Structure 1
Amino acid sequence: MNSKNIIITGTSRGIGFELVHILANQGHNVLALSRNAQPVSNLQFDNIESFAFDLGKKEDYKKVEDYVTKEWKHVDILINNAGALLNKPFAETSMEDFEHVYKTNVFGVAEMTRRVLPFLKSDGHVVTISSMGGVQGSVKFPGLSAYSSSKGAVVTLTELLAEEYKETGPSFNVLALGAVQTEMLEEAFPGYQAPTTALEMAEYIADFSLNGNKYYNGKMLQVSNSTP
């Protein structure tokens, strides 16, 4: 097996944390990025590097560029997994609330992708994690105006990037996830029991990130076995 160089954001818990485990166990080199680097640091894999990273801080992107330049030279896969979720009635959702959510879910995805692009191989793969709430025509839930609209934005962004780089690569795809049992879901919807675990979803995303670009580019895939 050819080991890949893989960058994953939002790795301190939930799906991102499981993704780091799965891909590292398969022998891939993983750069795990999250505001809290401690959970991944505790894994103590030789092929995992992690440091504290905030999608909202411009100076943190330089750390990623420096690491790739020094240690890897190229990137095979970028998984934009980090996300901010806000559950609040629209009438109470301020401009600052929207800015906070969009800074992570849209601007952070765009900037991380832009910074990593020069290192991505032509057969590389950028996978962005969206939500069923961001899919036009899907069931919508009150209180998620900032979150779901931001997740819709990255679907369109993915389509645009695939078109812009279709002659040179890499490939860009977006996965719109249904409800997954994570700490973030519990915080937003206390007591709700999702039909899919973080590990189960991470196994799917890991496989898709490694192989999905053979069959898809510029596509939004709905990964959901439930209404949300």
Structure 2
Amino acid sequence: MAKNIIITGTSRGIGYQMVALLEDSGHKVLALSRDAAPISGLDISNCTCFSCDITESKDIKKVSAFVKEHWGHVDILINNSGYLVSKPFNKLKYEDFKTSYDVNVFGAVSLTQAILPFMKKDGHVVNISSMGGVRGSAKFPGLAAYSSSKGAIITLTEVLAEEYKETGPQFNVLALGSVQTEMLEEAFPGYKAPLSAKEMAKYIIDFSIKGNKFYNGKVLEVSSSTP
């Protein structure tokens, strides 16, 4: 059955690949990112894209207005936007932490609150976190702002799953290991991840469509490395 799917952070990396994989799938896609140009260039008939900064309330309202006018309901929301800064803790500034939490936590909160009224009981909210936010995983130096924000989105997901367990939708979070993306390359030049953005994008799409039949309020560690 065709789904109405919203994906954030689609200008590059995993988000961009998710949109490309959904071409001609029968599903309708709303692709959101601050820079809409890359997705616009794909010219995908089943995809609508426009510039959206999830940290700006006026842009969140644009999303609500679009859904109300064109879709009526949303089946899947994938909060994929991410901001990563890599610096030693004593070099991190307040602004680094604020931007990390604004994008990785508060932006996802704002968009989720705006979209929930349009979601049915069998809807699925998928939040994208990181292995750095998971208890017991290796915590890499330099990622204090990033990893702590990704830990926050995990806890948020668990709480929302409990809060909405009777009415839906379902909430799950994927804690991703290293993926070869532009963001990773910028933070760790020369590092080669075991998975491509396209490979991870396919996994996330499949999970988003089917995973809430099996999971709710769960943290799934999507990583081929140990720990």
Instruction: Determine if the alignment matches structure 1 residue 88 to structure 2 residue 98.
Output: no
Counting only pairs closer than 5 Å after superposition, residues 39-188 of structure 1 correspond to structure 2 as: 39-188=38-187
CA contact (8 A) 2:24 2:46 kept: no
The 8 Å contact of residues 84 and 105 in structure 1, kept in 2 or not, is answered as yes
Give distance in 2, aligned partners of 1:24 and 1:65: 23
**Which structure 1 segments of 5+ residues have no match?**
none
Q: Distance in 2 between matches of 1:127 and 1:25?
A: 22
Q: What TM-score does the superposition give when structure 2 sets the normalisation length?
A: 0.98
Cα offsets for 1:149-202 (capped at 9, x unmatched): 000000000000000000000000000000000000000000000000000000
Query: Does the 8 Å contact 1:181/1:196 carry over to 2?
Result: yes
1:194 maps to amino acid: A
TM superposition shift of 1:21? 1.3
Query: What SS class does the counterpart of residue 24 from structure 1 fall into?
Result: coil
Task: Provide the secondary structure at the position in 1 that maps to 2:22.
Answer: helix
Q: Cα offset for 1:227?
A: 3.7
Q: Distance in 2 between matches of 1:94 and 1:193?
A: 28
SS at structure 1 position matched to 2:174? strand
SS at match of 1:124: strand
Deviates more, 1:92-101 or 1:182-191: 92-101
Residue 23 of structure 1 deviates from its aligned partner by 2.0
Task: Please state how far the C-alpha of 1:24 moved relative to its aligned partner.
Answer: 2.9
2:19 matched residue in structure 1: 20
Shift of residue 121, structure 1, vs aligned partner: 1.2
Tell me whether 1:37 sits opposite 2:36 in the alignment.
Answer: yes
Superposition CA RMSD, Å: 0.8
CA distance in 1, matches of 2:186, 2:226: 19
Distance in 1, matches of 2:130 and 2:168, equals 25
Residue 15 of structure 1 contacts residue 198 of structure 1 at CA under 8 Å; is this kept in 2?
A: yes
Distance 1:174 1:189 in 2: 24
Indicate conservation of the 8 Å contact 2:4/2:27, yes or no: yes
- Deviation of 1:226 after TM superposition, in Å, equals 1.4
Which one-letter code corresponds to 2:35 in the other structure?
N
The TM-score with structure 1 as length reference comes to: 0.98
Q: Assess if the C-alpha contact under 8 Å between 1:159 and 1:219 holds in 2.
A: yes
Contact 1:178-1:227 within 8 A present in 2 as well: no
> How far apart in 2 are the matches of 1:23 and 1:134?
28
Residue type of the partner of 2:27?
H
2:206 matched to 1:198?
Answer: no
- Give 1:27 deviation, angstroms: 1.6
| Maintained 8 Å contact 1:11/1:17 | yes
Counterpart of 1:86 in 2: which secondary structure? coil
Gaps of 5+ in 2: none
SS at match of 1:61: helix
SS in 2 for 1:208: helix
